[in-house]
Every structure is written in structure tokens, then in C-alpha cells.
């Protein structure tokens, strides 16, 4: 029995090494202070704002309010060229995160731009949202708008992307303009991009026994309550509910799916999510204690007659 106990603890150690909250998008609704907390500014001066309105010839052509919360991210650049070969400007920021197979990245955006140029002048205006797999360095353009004069955005546009591979990713949000003019008339360009409600939606997980979209202590409690019993998948028998009781194989699957509690379950919301998830070593001790209470690895005492 002692050997079995050592093996069990070793398996639990291996499972606990994978125990960490899934990489979340930080400050995807752009409500945190300071502004753009969690994001890295690449170039320019990205900002946040509570609303955006553009009036052209006394006519309101753009009027945007936040999709979520009270602020959204806003990028705006412009450039002007006269008798110069090239002028350019850009503004961009990015964030790295982890995603699993079947997870979904979603956000809302609007973009518009305008250029003025005549041959031999030239001007470009573009807005891009680029997703890069950091393992393969492959990139996917989730938004790629090349704009000459774009006023077609009357409302936010919803975008979503489902991940086919588990990896670390980088999300880069950028606007850029160029203008060149070696002769009259001058050339100018402007680009604006608003983005809000950037979020990572976890795939439906087998280990989400409570159905709240997260694998956390509630699901672990269900599994441990049914330890060594012949029960259904919904009760924690995740691997082989037809022929085996709930055991360490099921526990390993649950720990591999671990996301940590939902932001609503954290003391102070999303900003405290990581603090609400204990370190693997602390949780490991708790699991060993709970399994001990369940009777796992209990020493058998044999009394010998004198």
C-alpha cells in the first residue's frame, strides 16, 4: 500500500504541474487604470476614450459609444506630403496570451480613413488586426482594411476567430498611413480605428462539470465527492465511465483543463483572477489532504496475536 501511495502522489504531482489559469486577455474592455494596462505600445500614441464623433460639413457621420463598459481603445494617425518622396505615420499596440484548441477570440471594431492624392502623388490608409502564432510565427489578418475614403461604419463590427492549435499568440492592433508628393498637388491621408471588448472565450470543456464555462474548485469538488465510485461523466468519471470508477486518470484530465474561477467569482473581478487561483504547490497539498479524507492511501493495520 505504501508503494501505491507513493505512485499516487507522483501522478498527482505531474498533474499539478499543469495547474494554472488559462492565459486570459488582460484589460480587453480598456477599463483599467492606467490606460492600456496589460497592452504593450509598439509605436505612436494609442489612447482610450469614452466616445467618438466626427462631423463633416456640419453633418454627424460617425458616432460611437463603447460596446462594453465606459471606454474603448482609439487609434488615429494622419500625414501630409508636399514636394517630399514619402511621409508616413503609424500607431499600434499588442498583447500576448495563450489559447487552446477550440477557444475563440472575439472583439468589436470600427475603422475609417481618407486619402487625397493625384498622380504623380500617392497616399494610403490602412487598419489591421493581426494574430500571430508565436510557435510558428504564422500570422492571420483578422482585420485588413485599405481605405481611400471609407465612411461605411455606422456601427461596431463583430469579429471572431476559433483557434485550431494550442499555442501562445500575439494580437497586434495597428493603423498606418503614407503619403508622397514630388509635385503639386500635395497628398495627405488619415486612418482611425476603434476597438473594444477583446475577449478569449474558452471552448466547451469536458471537465466543466458545473456548466459555468470554467474548470475550477466547484468541478474539483464534484469529482472528489464521487472518488472511486461508478458514476457518469457529468459526475466526474471523465475517461472511462463504463468500466472504471472515478480515479487519478479523471483527476489528471480535470487538472489539464483547469482555467481557474470566473472573474465574477474573484474578490475584485478580472483584475484579481490570478490572485484567486492558488499556486500548484498549495493546491497539491490540499488535494492530498482531501484524498486522505476520502480514504485514499490509508494504512492498513494488522493485529497479530501474542
Q: In whole angstroms, what is the distance from residue 67 CA to residue 24 CA?
A: 19
pLDDT at residue 172, as a whole number: 98
**Can you list the domains of the chain with their CATH numbers?**
2-22+205-293 (no CATH), 40-201 (2.60.120)
Q: Return the SS3 of 271.
A: helix
| Neighbour-count burial for 123-138, b at 16+ CB within 10 Å, e otherwise | bbbbbbbbbbbeeeee
Distance of CA 77 to the CA centre of its chain: 27
pLDDT at residue 306, as a whole number: 54
CB atoms within 10 A of CB 115: 23
* Cβ atoms 77, 91 nearer than 8 A: yes
Strand partners of residue 216: none
pLDDT at residue 10, as a whole number: 45
Cα 218 to Cα 135, 205, 241, 275: the distances in Å are 33, 14, 20, 17
Distance of CA 286 to the CA centre of its chain: 29
DSSP 174-193: EEEEEEEESSSSPEEEEEEE
Biggest alpha carbon–alpha carbon distance for the chain: 113
CB atoms within 10 A of CB 36: 16
pLDDT at residue 18, as a whole number: 44
Cα 110 to Cα 148, 171, 176, 187: the distances in Å are 15, 17, 15, 24
In tens, the pLDDT along 160-216 reads 999 988 889 999 999 999 998 887 788 899 999 999 999 998 777 889 999 877 888
Q: In whole angstroms, what is the distance from residue 201 CA to residue 109 CA?
A: 17
pLDDT at residue 213, as a whole number: 74
Residue 85's H or E segment, with its range, is: strand 84-99
Cell of residue 86, nine digits: 514619402
The segments of the chain whose pLDDT lies below 50 read 1-7, 9-11, 13-21, 264, 266-281, 296-302
Threshold 0.85, pTM exceeds = no
Amino acid at each position: 500500500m505504501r508503494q501505491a501511495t507513493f505512485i499516487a502522489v507522483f501522478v498527482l504531482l505531474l498533474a499539478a504541474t499543469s495547474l494554472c489559469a488559462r492565459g486570459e486577455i488582460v484589460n480587453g474592455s480598456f477599463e483599467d487604470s492606467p490606460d492600456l494596462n496589460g497592452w504593450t505600445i509598439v509605436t505612436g500614441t494609442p489612447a482610450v476614450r469614452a466616445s467618438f464623433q466626427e462631423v463633416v460639413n456640419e453633418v454627424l457621420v460617425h458616432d460611437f459609444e463603447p460596446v462594453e463598459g465606459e471606454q474603448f481603445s482609439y487609434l488615429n494617425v494622419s500625414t501630409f506630403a508636399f514636394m517630399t518622396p514619402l511621409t508616413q505615420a503609424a500607431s499600434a499596440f499588442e498583447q500576448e496570451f495563450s489559447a487552446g484548441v477550440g477557444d475563440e477570440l472575439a472583439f468589436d471594431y470600427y475603422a475609417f480613413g481618407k486619402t487625397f492624392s493625384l498622380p504623380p502623388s500617392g497616399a494610403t490608409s490602412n487598419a489591421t488586426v493581426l494574430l500571430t502564432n508565436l510557435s510558428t510565427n504564422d500570422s492571420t489578418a483578422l482585420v485588413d482594411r485599405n481605405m481611400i475614403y471609407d465612411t461605411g461604419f455606422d456601427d461596431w463590427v463583430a469579429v471572431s476567430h476559433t483557434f485550431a492549435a494550442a499555442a501562445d499568440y500575439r494580437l497586434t492592433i495597428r493603423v498606418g498611413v503614407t503619403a508622397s508628393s514630388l509635385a503639386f498637388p500635395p497628398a495627405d491621408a488619415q486612418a482611425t480605428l476603434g476597438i473594444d471588448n477583446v475577449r478569449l472565450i474558452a471552448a466547451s470543456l469536458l471537465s466543466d462539470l458545473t456548466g459555468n464555462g470554467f474548470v475550477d474548485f466547484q468541478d474539483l469538488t464534484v469529482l472528489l465527492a464521487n472518488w472511486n465510485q461508478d458514476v457518469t461523466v457529468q459526475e466526474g468519471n471523465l475517461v472511462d465511465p463504463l468500466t472504471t470508477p472515478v480515479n487519478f486518470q479523471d483527476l489528471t484530465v480535470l487538472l489539464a483543463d483547469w482555467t481557474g474561477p470566473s472573474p465574477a467569482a474573484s474578490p475584485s473581478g478580472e483584475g484579481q483572477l490570478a490572485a484567486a487561483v492558488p499556486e500548484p504547490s498549495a493546491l497539491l497539498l490540499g488535494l492530498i489532504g482531501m484524498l486522505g479524507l476520502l480514504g485514499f492511501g490509508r494504512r492498513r493495520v494488522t493485529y497479530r496475536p501474542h
